[in-house]
Structure formats: C-alpha cells, structure tokens
C-alpha cells in the first residue's frame, strides 16, 4: 500500500527554546532567491502586481504606526520564490486546480474539501476525511497566511508551498491519485493545456508546474483586516474593554506570545502541548532530536474562531479549552517531550474568557473570492 502522506499546511500551538534555530530569517529567505509580491488582491480574479526585482520591493510604510503596532500588523509583502512569481494567470490556474475534484482518484475530493474557505480554510472535522471516507491521522490545518510560514504541514517536513502542494494529491487517505495518472489526465483536458501555457509558457503540464500553480493560488489566501488591527492602529473603540484586557493577559500572565507572536500570531516553530495522543510529531522529521517528540507547528491565530476543532489531533472544540491547555500546563503535565513553554500560569476561567474575547477580534472579513463552478474542459 502507498505510504500515507500526512495532511496539512500548517498548525498546532507553540515553540521550545531548543528549536529556535530551525526558524529561517527573512534575510535568509531573500538570499536563497525568494522575491516578494508587493500586493496580492483579495479578489483573485483581478490583476496582481508582478514583482520584477526583489530589490524593487519595499515593505509598506510604517512610520505612521507605533513600534507596538508594527509588531502586530501584516506590513511585509507576501513571499514567493523567484521561479514562481505571482501573476494573474498563475492565480487563475491555481484556483481552478485547488477547487477541482478531478485531482482525486474518484473525482470527489479537492484541496478545498479539507481546506474550505467557508470553514476558516479548514474543514471543521476532527481528522481529515479523504476519498471513500478515509480518515487521516491529523486534523486539517488552516492555510490562511501559510505563505508566510517557514515550514508546511503539522510536522514541518517541507519548507515551501510548492513542496507541500502535491503531497495530499497522492496520499492514500486524502486524494489518492498518482501523479503518473494525474498529469496525463490534465494533459487530456484542452482548456487546462491552454491555461498552463498562459501561466507557464513553454513549460507544459508537469508535476513542477502543477505544484507551482496551486501554490500561487494559496499565496492569495491571506488574513484580512480584523478589529484588532484597527485597534492596534489607534482606534481604541475597535475592540471591547474585555478584549483589551484579554490582550494584556495574552502578552503578560498567559505568556501566549512565547509561541503566538507577530502579525501571524505564530513563532513558526514546534511544541509539544502535552496532549498525550502518542503522535511523534517533529521528531519523525528531525530524527535523533528527542526533545522534539510530539512537537507540532504553532498555528496562526488569525481567524482562529473559524478553524475549529483545535490542535493537530482535533481533540478540542472550543477556544476556552484550548487556551486552558496551553496556558495552564498542557493536558498532561508529565507528557513525554512537553515544551518548556507549556507551564501552568494559573489562569482563572474568567481570565481565559478574556483571552478568548481578544482572540475573537482576530477574525477579519472573508476574503473576496469567486469560487469556480465551471471547470476547464
């Protein structure tokens, strides 16, 4: 039987000081040949500015914001590799592919089945459900802001969206379609041949162009302005007093920013929350690094109200319970590999409620998206 490829694009809840070195800096990414898209339209059918030179792209002006605001706002442009600059043609093609169920063995499952825009770009299932009702080993993580992540999948086994894109297609518990079958299938669809030629002139339909097209669409899935963003920009009435108190608890007593920091509310690293489910997590990728046993990638908290259930095992349905686990020492304090950041902070139920009220302010308006209903023929 084909080896299952675990589902996901990002997510879990925290970082161990021992693995900070795994996080690449933006400078490192820049030196490795990445460029940055200065603006990605929320409506993926509109023209997207194509970056010509990395040095030509500058972050949005920040002088009008305080240092505190700069930390929490999405000011940096969306990163993209130099061989896959975001263009309207690539987004259009990638969007068709993302929602097309013909990328699965029985034409029933698409990328959007597990990463549904109406469900916080997740699926609100405990574990991912693929073709024929097959149940995957982990929860489907949201793909919001995944372009900003340094690692993909819960265990971070690949770095880029391009590297991630094809895994679920071949995974036997997901779409279960061999690329050796899919590529000829796509080549037999005339309108796809035309779309690929427009997006990647002269390159044809290959595994590489397929992955790059899907990744191009996924780069448009970014968080929109939320009430918290308006608050941090200076509108003190944008969120309630209770939410403001929750934000202070989030930063101080709760130590939530140990793992959920910056505009994406994620450190991009890996932590064991003491869930006790036995999943080896990151250690399967970093063999020999025993401290990474059970460690999973910290999820974004943007639109977190929509992407339940929580954690890699999908075992928690409410933000209150999730916050209690992360803030008060984990589900099992003696769990093997428990992150050093998962400490009992003594958060009271009332304080947890306030933190939850704050996290609700991270929900923005749905991105403008026209979902295809008619596909290439």
9 in a structural domain: no
Let me know whether 307 and 182 are in one domain: no
What is residue 234's predicted lDDT score, i.e. its pLDDT?
93
Query: In angstroms, what CA-CA distances link 242 with 92, 247, 252?
Result: 42, 9, 15
Of 186, 218, 250, the residue that ends a domain is 218
Q: How many CB atoms lie within 10 A of CB 86?
A: 29
Q: How far apart are CA 110 and CA 131, in angstroms?
A: 10
Q: How far apart are CA 182 and CA 160, in angstroms?
A: 22
217 and 224 Cβ atoms separated by less than 8 Å? no
Let me know whether 82 and 115 are in one domain: yes
In this predicted structure, which of 10-14, 270-274, 276-280, 348-352 has the lowest mean pLDDT?
10-14
Mean pLDDT, rounded, for 277-286? 96
Q: Kindly tell me if the per-residue pLDDT of 281 is higher than 60.
A: yes
Of 218, 235, 266, the residue that ends a domain is 218
333 in a structural domain: yes
Q: Kindly tell me if the per-residue pLDDT of 217 is higher than 50.
A: yes
10 in a structural domain: no
What is residue 140's predicted lDDT score, i.e. its pLDDT?
98
280 in a structural domain: yes
Q: Kindly tell me if the per-residue pLDDT of 28 is higher than 80.
A: no
366 in a structural domain: no
In this predicted structure, which of 5-9, 96-100, 319-323 has the lowest mean pLDDT?
5-9
Annotated catalytic residue, options 174, 351, 357, 363: 174
Q: Which of these, 308, 315, 299, lies nearest to 116 by C-alpha position?
A: 308
What is residue 64's predicted lDDT score, i.e. its pLDDT?
72
SS3 content of the chain, % helix, strand, coil (to 5): 35, 5, 60
174 is catalytic: yes
Structural domain range at position 88:
17-218
Let me know whether 35 and 115 are in one domain: yes
Q: How many domains does the chain have?
A: 2
Let me know whether 28 and 166 are in one domain: yes
Let me know whether 121 and 140 are in one domain: yes
269 in a structural domain: yes
Of 164, 183, 218, the residue that ends a domain is 218
Let me know whether 64 and 153 are in one domain: yes
**CATH code: domain of residue 318:** 1.10.760.10
Q: Kindly tell me if the per-residue pLDDT of 45 is higher than 80.
A: no
The dihedral built from the CA positions of residue 111, 112, 117 and 118, taken in this order, carries a sign that is: negative
Question: Quick one: residue 153, left, alpha or beta (phi over 0 = left, psi -120 to 50 = alpha)?
Answer: left
Structure pTM?
0.84
Going by pLDDT thresholds of 50, 70 and 90, the confidence category of residue 69 is confident
What does pLDDT average to over the chain? 87
Let me know whether 208 and 278 are in one domain: no
Q: Give tens-digit pLDDT for 317-375.
A: 999 999 999 999 999 999 999 999 999 999 999 999 999 999 999 999 999 999 999 99
Going by pLDDT thresholds of 50, 70 and 90, the confidence category of residue 66 is confident
Mean pLDDT, rounded, for 192-208? 98
């Amino acid at each position: 039987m084909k080896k299952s490829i675990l589902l996901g694009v990002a997510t879990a809840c925290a970082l161990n000081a021992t693995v900070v070195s795994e996080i690449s800096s933006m400078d490192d990414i820049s030196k490795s040949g990445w460029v940055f898209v200065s603006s990605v339209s929320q409506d993926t059918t509109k023209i997207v500015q194509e970056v010509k030179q990395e040095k030509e792209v500058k972050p949005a002006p920040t002088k009008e914001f305080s240092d505190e605001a700069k930390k929490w706002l999405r000011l940096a442009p969306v990163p993209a590799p130099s061989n896959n600059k975001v263009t309207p043609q690539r987004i259009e093609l990638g969007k068709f592919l993302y929602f097309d169920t013909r990328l699965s063995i029985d034409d029933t499952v698409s990328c959007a089945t597990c990463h549904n825009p109406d469900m916080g770009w997740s699926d609100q299932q405990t574990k991912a459900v693929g073709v024929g009702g097959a149940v995957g080993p982990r929860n489907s993580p949201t793909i919001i802001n995944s372009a900003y992540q340094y690692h993909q999948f819960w265990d971070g086994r690949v770095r880029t969206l391009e590297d991630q894109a094809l895994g679920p297609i071949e995974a036997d518990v997901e779409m279960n379609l061999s690329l050796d079958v899919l590529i000829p299938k796509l080549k037999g669809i005339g309108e796809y041949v035309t779309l690929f030629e427009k997006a990647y002139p002269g390159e044809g339909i290959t595994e590489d162009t397929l992955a790059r097209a899907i990744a191009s669409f996924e780069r448009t899935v970014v968080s929109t302005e939320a009430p918290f963003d308006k608050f941090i920009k200076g509108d003190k009435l944008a969120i309630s007093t209770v939410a403001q108190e929750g934000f202070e608890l989030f930063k101080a007593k709760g130590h939530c920013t140990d793992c959920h920091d910056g505009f994406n509310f994620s450190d991009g690293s890996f932590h064991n929350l003491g869930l006790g489910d036995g999943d080896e997590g990151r250690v399967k990728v970093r063999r020999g690094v025993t401290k990474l046993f059970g460690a999973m990638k910290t999820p974004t908290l943007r639109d977190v109200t929509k992407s339940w259930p929580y954690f890699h095992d999908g075992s928690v349905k409410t933000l209150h319970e999730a916050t209690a686990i992360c803030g008060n020492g984990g589900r099992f304090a003696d769990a093997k590999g428990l992150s050093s950041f998962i400490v009992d902070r003594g958060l009271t139920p009332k304080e947890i409620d306030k933190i939850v009220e704050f996290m609700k302010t991270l929900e923005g308006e749905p991105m403008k998206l026209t979902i295809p209903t008619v596909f290439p023929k």
